[in-house]
Amino acid sequence: MNIPKSELQKEITYKASRSGGKGGQNVNKVSTKVELLFDIQASLLFTPEQKELMLGKLQNRLNKDGLLQVFSEEERSQLMNKERALDKMLVILERSLYVQKPRKALKVSKQAKAKRLEAKRMQSVKKQLRKGGIGHE
């Protein structure tokens, strides 16, 4: 499912704070670290079934208030970090909506079973011959 970025942006809360790492004095003066918060329960973009699926898959990523939290502090500009964090959130949400197809168990064919047993028998014969065969003691 493709989640529209512009629609998602309307439902996200942004917070900016000072970041650690590279940047020298820039780090000490400018709030470049970006934190995005998204309330899955209150979202209008998803159906109740989708919300339930997302909450189940993302329960380890939710904070104590039940909000999905994403941080970005790699870049030196707040705008770039905001874009990166938004992209991360989109990936997380899209992955959480993916439903894997159920695996169908297949019965082993008679031919495949016979082939496997024959290979096992040949291996057994090979090992018997290595021992020196029957009566070699």
- pTM over the 0.95 mark: no
Range of the domain at 56: 5-97
Question: What is the domain count for the chain?
Answer: 1
23: pLDDT confidence band, cut at 50, 70 and 90? low
Q: Is residue 79 part of a domain?
A: yes
Residue with tokens 């919300």: 51
The H-or-E segment that residue 96 falls in is: helix 78-97
The 10 Å Cβ neighbour count of residue 55 is 15
Q: Is residue 103 part of a domain?
A: no
Q: What is the C-alpha to C-alpha distance for residues 93 and 55, in angstroms, rounded to an integer? A: 10
Close Cβ partners of 46 (under 8 Å, ≥ 6 residues apart): 40, 54
Q: Is residue 72 part of a domain?
A: yes
Q: Is residue 114 part of a domain?
A: no
Residue 67 token pair: 């909000």
Q: How does pLDDT run across 28-71, given as a tens digit for each residue?
A: 677 778 888 988 888 888 888 988 888 888 888 888 888 888 88
Q: Is residue 108 part of a domain?
A: no
Residue 37 token pair: 């918060």
